[in-house]
Chain A
């Protein structure tokens, strides 16, 4: 069995906390981050609930000590905060000492600034600076600049599986010896663009999201950023570093079914999990906890559940839960925050509760873990599926 790629640092900011510790405490104390929206003025404010980071853009600017003439989007600011935490947590003091890269995921990019300033650009020259922050790639460039990182920088945009693909690419760059060290993850801020878009698709819940419940009504959007530091075994040994956990498996497959909907039998999800098991050399029965994608849309949970039943055939599906009732669906950042939660699950031997669950779905006999459970955890599987049929699975293992 392959050993997997070492994770040596993590950073996160989400609706349930501004650090790894705060996020963990919220998860084990059932403190949810879903509320009414306060940072964006929208006509849907009284209808929708979101997982919002309770910091204004001004709060973030002062926390990051940015100049008045900065043109950071909210996505770039929360991304920078999380990436800095991850680098610090990994004990990195000289970022360019080894061949170090940054792979960042986003789907929103600088859309929050564009929608805010779009009609003022002609009248207010002082706002024109925000035009260049719209580009999805700008977020990663900004983070790299703040970290002083001079190596490879790339952005992946594959919707809600983006961060899983960023972690997967990072792991492969380490495995193939292209990089010694890589900071991987993603960031997405809330924006009217995504709120209105998902509202238009009629998959937003007007209440707290209920993954894998028969009466689920849809998702709550959220915003977050999280990054992990991956390092080669040589660098880990050389510096005598503590390994938090390992990325032991990954897989990506296309559902080849529809632009936004998942296929009835979860073909893409099934194949992504199957590939991840092949890479890790693990058997499905060796997984102790599955952090499901579990967006609580009627379509996702049905498709994902069927894919799980197919992977486990006649075996029992292990304890599983969706953490989206805590954080909301954070789109391109989702797989990154859930990677942090997966590592925390391995470190603390816990299965997080799938909150708000009441009634088992009629299509299959799958019941998520509904309360915090303590048990030994050796391997965690985490799913993330995106529009465009892009399905990804990651497996994390104890170091």
Chain B
């Protein structure tokens, strides 16, 4: 296995009603709930993808971040070998609770397939894959906190074993309107912009 240096190409952070792309605030609004924030962000960046509106909050969060990182670099003509390696703390708990509420009252029993399909954390990986037609490797991990050493090791192994040309790696946490997304693209391509940064330092910025 050839150990080539891998480099962070771009990163994005979404939290507190703000989107920060490569260190620059690109979208910020007055405090509101995530449903409103995500809708406004979607409109602001003129994302033309109506499936967005049926996604659960976790998928919307992951979608917004990946959209801004991947859309400029993915091609519709050729295959994009970009692996997805995401993690969070609360899995799909936010949607699990919503679905659970819909089935726990016998008098008011309305299980919805549209909600149930989102009761798994990796569905957000599916949404990103469908959007960018990524048939690449993908995994969703659950850690107590963002395990940056593990995540960067995992990404490096994928790149150094040529399993992927690029890895979209990060943390997408959503529970009860408390959210934080941190996503970055990593590849072997040289990039001096973030030479002194790691996933860890960027995540904590």
Chain A residues engaging chain B, CB cutoff 8 angstroms: 107, 109, 111, 114-115, 118-119, 134-137, 152, 154-159, 165, 169, 172, 176, 178, 192-193, 196-197, 199-202, 252-260, 267-268, 271, 275, 386-390
Contacts and interface: CB of A to CB of B under 8 A. Distances in A.
B91 A135 contact: yes
Nearest to B91: A136
Nearest to B127: A259
Given A197-B99, A259-B117, A159 B135 contact: no
A196 B119 CA distance: 12
B123 A255 contact: no
A118 B97 CA distance: 10
A154 B134 CA distance: 25
Which 6 A/B pairs are nearest by Cβ-Cβ distance? A388-B126, A254-B129, A388-B122, A256-B129, A197-B116, A158-B122
Given A169-B139, A254-B135, A386 B100 contact: no
Nearest to A261: B117
B109 to A, nearest CB: 9
A196 B103 contact: yes
A389 B129 contact: yes
B133 interface: yes
11 contacts: A115-B100, A137-B143, A155-B143, A157-B121, A176-B157, A254-B134, A258-B126, A259-B123, A387-B126, A389-B125, A389-B126
Q: For this complex, into which size category does the number of interface residues on chain B fall?
A: 35 or more
A387 B122 contact: yes
B137 to A, nearest CB: 5
A70 to B, nearest CB: 20
Given A254-B125, A258-B130, A136 B116 contact: no
A333 B140 CA distance: 16
B139 A192 contact: no
A268 B100 contact: no
Contacts of A199: 111
B18 interface: no
Contact of B123 (A172, A257, A387): A387
Interface in B113-149: 113, 116-127, 129-130, 132-144, 147
Q: Which of A157, A176, A268, A388 has the most CB of B within 10 A?
A: A388
Nearest to A252: B137
A154 B104 contact: no
Given A135-B90, A159-B120, A390 B100 contact: no
A178 B156 CA distance: 13
A191 to B, nearest CB: 10
B112 interface: yes
A129 B65 CA distance: 36
A387 B127 CA distance: 11
Contacts of B157: 172, 176
Given A156-B141, A157-B142, A196-B111, A390 B122 contact: yes
Contacts of A260: 117
A152 B143 CA distance: 11
A196 B133 CA distance: 31
A219 to B, nearest CB: 15
A152 B153 CA distance: 13
Q: Which of B103, B113, B127, B139 has the most CB of A within 10 A?
A: B139
B70 to A, nearest CB: 13
B96 interface: yes
B176 to A, nearest CB: 14
B21 interface: no
A158 B118 contact: no
Contacts of B73: none
A13 B3 CA distance: 41
Contacts of B118: 259
A170 to B, nearest CB: 12
A256 B130 contact: yes
A176 B163 CA distance: 14
B66 to A, nearest CB: 13
Given A176-B1, A252-B139, A259-B117, A109 B91 contact: yes
Given A154-B143, A256-B135, A389 B120 contact: no
B141 A192 contact: no
Nearest to A165: B139
Contact of A253 (B90, B132, B135): B135
